[in-house]
Amino acid sequence: MILNMGPQHPSTHGVLRVILEIDGENVVRIMPDIGYLHTGIEKTCEAKFYQQVVPLTDRIDYLCPLTNNLCYVLAVEKLLGLEIPPKAQWMRVLLNELTRINSHLVWLGTHAMDIGALTVFLYCFREREDILRLFEAVSGQRMMTSYFRIGGLALEPPLDFFEQTRKFADRFPPKVDEYENLLTGNPIWMMRTKGVAKLAPEDAIALGASGPTLRGSGVDFDLRRDIPYSGYENFKFKVPVSQEGDVFARYMCRVQELHESTAIVQQALDGMPEGPIKADAPKVVLPDREKMKTQMEALIYHFKIITEGFAVPEGEVYQAVESPRGEMGYYVVSDGTAKPYRAHMRAACLANMQTLPKMCEGRLLADVIAAIGSIDIVLGEIDR
Task: Calculate Rg over the CA atoms of the chain.
Answer: 21
- Please say which residue, 5 or 320, places its beta carbon nearer to other proteins: 320
Burial per residue of 356-376, b for 16 or more beta-carbon CB atoms within 10 angstroms, e otherwise: bbbbbeebebebbbbbbbbbb
* Binding-site string for other proteins from residue 75 to residue 114, where x marks contact by CB under 8 A and - marks none: ---xxxx-x-------------------------------
Smallest separation, CB 202 to other proteins (Å)? 9
Smallest gap from residue 86 Cβ to other proteins (A):
14
Angle at 195 between CA 185 and CA 97, to 5 degrees: 65
Q: Per-residue string for binding with other proteins, 191-220, x by CB under 8 A?
A: --------------xxxx----------x-
Question: What is the Cα–Cα distance from 348 to 271, expressed in whole angstroms?
Answer: 31
* Min separation Cβ 43 and other proteins, Å: 6
Q: How open is the CA angle 271-274-277, to the nearest 5 degrees?
A: 110
Q: Closer to other proteins at the Cβ: 8 or 39?
A: 39
Q: Residue 314 Cβ, how far from other proteins at the closest point, in Å?
A: 9
| 117 backbone dihedrals φ, ψ, rounded to 5° | -95, 90
DSSP states along 145-187:
---EETTEESSPPPTTHHHHHHHHHHHHHHHHHHHHHHHTT-H
Which residue type, as a one-letter code, is found at position 51? Answer: Q
Query: Which whole-number Å values give the CA distances from 111 to 11, 104, 108, 255, 345, in the listed order?
Result: 8, 10, 5, 12, 25
Among 246, 376, 381, 383, binds other proteins (CB under 8 A): 383
Nearest to 215 by CA among 190, 238, 195, 234: 238
Q: Which of residues 19-38 bind other proteins (CB under 8 A)?
A: 34-35, 38
Q: How far is the CB of 341 from other proteins (least distance, A)?
A: 7
d(Cα 253, Cα 221) in Å, to the nearest integer?
Answer: 12
282-321 binders of other proteins (CB under 8 A)? 313, 315-318, 320
**Pattern 46-65, other proteins, x by CB under 8 A:** xx------------------
Binding residues for other proteins, rule CB under 8 A, total 42
Tell the smallest beta-carbon distance from residue 383 to other proteins (Å): 6
- Interacting residues with other proteins between 124 and 183 (CB under 8 A): none
The pattern of x and - marking residues 316 through 345 that bind other proteins according to CB under 8 A reads xxx-x------x-x-x-x-------xx-x-
CA 17 vs. chain centroid, Å, equals: 23
Residue of 9, 21, 28, 44 interacting with other proteins (CB under 8 A): 44
Backbone φ and ψ of 58, nearest 5°: -55, -40
Least distance in angstroms from the C-beta of 233 to other proteins: 13
- Gap between the Cα atoms of 229 and 150, Å rounded: 15
100 contacts 355 by C-beta, under 8 angstroms:
no
The 222-251 contact track toward other proteins, x by CB under 8 A, reads ----xx------------------------
By the criterion CB under 8 A, which residues form the site for other proteins? 34-35, 38, 40, 42-44, 46-47, 78-81, 83, 205-208, 219, 221, 226-227, 313, 315-318, 320, 327, 329, 331, 333, 341-342, 344, 346, 350-351, 353-354, 383-384
